[in-house]
Amino acid sequence: MTEHTAHLARVPGPLRLFWRALKAIIWKDLAAELRSRELLSAMLVFSLLVLLIFNFALELDAKTRSTVTAGVLWVTFAFAGTLGLNRSMATEKDRGCLDGLLLAPVDRSAIYFGKASGNLVFMFIVEAIVLPVYSLLYNTNLLYPGLLLVILLGSIGYVAVGTLLASMAVQTRTRDVLLPILLFPLVIPVMIAAVKASTGFLEGIAMVDIRPWLNLLVVYDIIFVAVAFMVFDFVVEE
Amino acid sequence: MIIVRKLIKRFGLKAVLRGLDFQVEQGEFVALLGPNGAGKTTFLRILSSLSRPTLGEVQIAGYRLPAQSAAVRRKLGVVSHLPLLYGDLTAEENLRFYARMYGLESESRRVSEVLELVGLTPRRRDLVRTFSRGMQQRLAIGRAVLHDPEVMLFDEPHTGLDQDACVMLDQVLSEVAARGRTVVMTSHDLARAADLASRFDVLSRGVIAASVQRSQINPNDLLAFYRQAVGDGKAPASAAPVTMEQPA
């Protein structure tokens, strides 16, 4: 240890190191995206195109509209989310940066939570733009607090599983194809629950009928965040 | 500093490392030579805790892998032929990011010191994607020494560099070694290895087939030593090392 690097010997505790690493990864993802705008622009353009296609394809009357809104929204979020998840991990893999992250002397679950949080932020940004655009195109009010809660819970579940699977898929040559093939079957419960709960709020169904779907979303989120926390280390190590 | 015993690594049925023994003392600079497919990169990935050994014992700075991998990673700096840097961040932002990942205190001061060390202070605010390959590799070395590691692993650091960049990289490598760090570097470039290393090990078919100290070999004989260790490329290398001196 040289004299001028003696200050490097002070090592923060594991929990503090965990939080610093988690925040650093979120900051890095946002800063890089602010410069390149690769990920968000791809997700947004794709989402808006899906909405436009649905708009022309379905030609819905006002009554039918409320029954399909939730489906259209969640299909859009799921497809755009897959694009984002793929891109987010590909950026790490292409220049070997995933190895750079894994070499840090930090609990590797910090890497998972950092990447998942970044992905969640991107997902929320896309959703915050898609919702008003959908409202304009379909002349439907979507600003229900209940619907926003469903979107929050559904997005957490989707990103929790998606980030874990994207870390697996990115190690393979067929990562672009592999991620949706692995992801969509696993997120069926979250998609069904999110669509049912969203439709419930949009149609003004009683809370007692919506609550089971909300509970399913919460349980799904907890289970898959916990599973990812436990297995991420094994997923990323050869 | 590094102790490896009976290391085996299999990918499916294919054994890449077959009972490898390896030991490096503190302050040694070991050039790990060997043909393509010999297992050099796999070996370095195991040492750097990016890959789990199938069997065998690996100890670095007194910590065991994979059980104490976070403690080992704190002692390690790794440079591969990929820069492990983010193109959309500046040089300073990249180092600052890794400083946070390593939990370094006074990160601004350390980042400035490292930029100075690798000669990139004038380009600190430029995006890494605008850097030449040589500059990226210098910054990659900066990233690897950021936390002042005791052990440095270099995986073919000269790959893809032009002559000027190689010379500059050698200067940085010499400076890193001069600070008393333990270094293991894989390379195909015998001449550069001869200039830098204090010991030469040849990895062939998953074992250390030969090992020699720099003081015990004329640099001009290194190629003959290497060829003898690797064999003719068809017959398996002898399990018994053709060593002039075994590692301690």
Give B163's pLDDT tier (boundaries 50, 70, 90). Answer: confident
Place of tokens 């497919």: B37
Calculate the alpha carbon distances from A136 to A129, A190, B55, B240 in Å. 11, 27, 62, 77
Q: A151-169 pLDDT, tens per residue?
A: 999 999 999 999 999 999 9
* Residue B114 domain-assigned (yes or no): yes
B8: CATH? 3.40.50.300
Chain A residue with CA closest to B84: the answer is: A97
* Residue B86 domain-assigned (yes or no): yes
* Residue B102 domain-assigned (yes or no): yes
C-beta atoms of B51 and A238 within 8 A: yes
C-beta atoms of B147 and A8 within 8 A: yes
C-beta atoms of A105 and B127 within 8 A: no
Place of tokens 């069926």: A188
Give the residue, A112 or A171, on which the prediction is more confident. A112
Chain A closest-CA separation from residue B170 CA (Å): 21
Pairing of strands B2-11, B55-60: antiparallel
pLDDT at B106: 84
The interface pTM score, or ipTM, of the predicted complex is: 0.87
In total, how many domains does chain B have?
A: 1
Chain B closest-CA separation from residue A215 CA (Å): 36
Give the residue, B238 or A210, on which the prediction is more confident. A210
Please give the DSSP secondary-structure letter assigned to residue B50. S
Average pLDDT in the A78-101 region? 90
* Residue B247 domain-assigned (yes or no): no
Give B221's pLDDT tier (boundaries 50, 70, 90). Answer: confident
* Residue B238 domain-assigned (yes or no): no
Tokens of B230: 């690797």
Distance of CA B34 to the CA centre of its chain: 14
SS3 call for B222 = helix
Chain A closest-CA separation from residue B126 CA (Å): 12
Q: Which residues of A touch B71 (CB under 8 A)?
A: 105
Give B28's pLDDT tier (boundaries 50, 70, 90). Answer: very high
A142, amino acid identity: L
pLDDT at B232: 57
Q: In terms of DSSP H, where are the helices of chain B?
A: 40-47, 69-75, 91-101, 107-117, 133-145, 163-178, 190-196, 222-230
Give A60's pLDDT tier (boundaries 50, 70, 90). Answer: low
Q: Which of B78, B79, B86, B150 is the best substitution to test chain A (most A C-beta atoms within 10 A)?
A: B86
Residue numbers of the domain that contains B107: 2-230
Give B45's pLDDT tier (boundaries 50, 70, 90). Answer: very high
8 A C-beta contact, residue A70 and residue A202: yes
Hey, what long-range contacts does A142-145 have (CB within 8 A, 24 or more apart)? A142/A69, A142/A73, A142/A202, A144/A201, A144/A202
8 A C-beta contact, residue B40 and residue B32: yes
* Residue B239 domain-assigned (yes or no): no
pLDDT at B230: 87
C-beta atoms of B97 and A28 within 8 A: yes
* Residue B157 domain-assigned (yes or no): yes
pLDDT at A5: 56
Q: Considering the entire predicted model, what is its pTM?
A: 0.87
C-alpha to C-alpha distance for B58 and B184, rounded to whole angstroms: 15
